Amino acid sequence: MLVRSLTLATLLCAASPLFAADSDAPLAKELGKARPLVVIAPSSADPTLRGLSQASKDPATEAGFKERNLVLYSVASMMGMREDKHLEQQATMALIRELKLGVSKGTRVILIGKDGEQHVLRDGEGTEPLDAQAVFKAVDELPASEKAVTAPEPVAAAPAAGKPAGKDGKPVKPAKPSAPPKPLED
pLDDT tens for 11-35 read: 766 665 555 544 567 878 888 888 8
3-state DSSP assignment of residue 174: coil
Task: Report how far residue 79's alpha carbon sits from residue 172's, in angstroms, rounded to the nearest whole number.
Answer: 59
- Please, what are the domains in the chain? 20-146 (3.40.30)
pLDDT value at residue 158: 46
Range list of β-strands (E), 91-156: 108-112, 118-123
pLDDT value at residue 159: 45
| Residue 151 predicted with pLDDT over 60 | no
Task: Report how far residue 80's alpha carbon sits from residue 153's, in angstroms, rounded to the nearest whole number.
Answer: 29
Q: Of 16-20, 90-94, 155-159, which range is least confident? A: 155-159
Residue 72 vs residues 12, 36, 173: alpha-carbon distances, Å: 36, 6, 56
pLDDT value at residue 21: 47
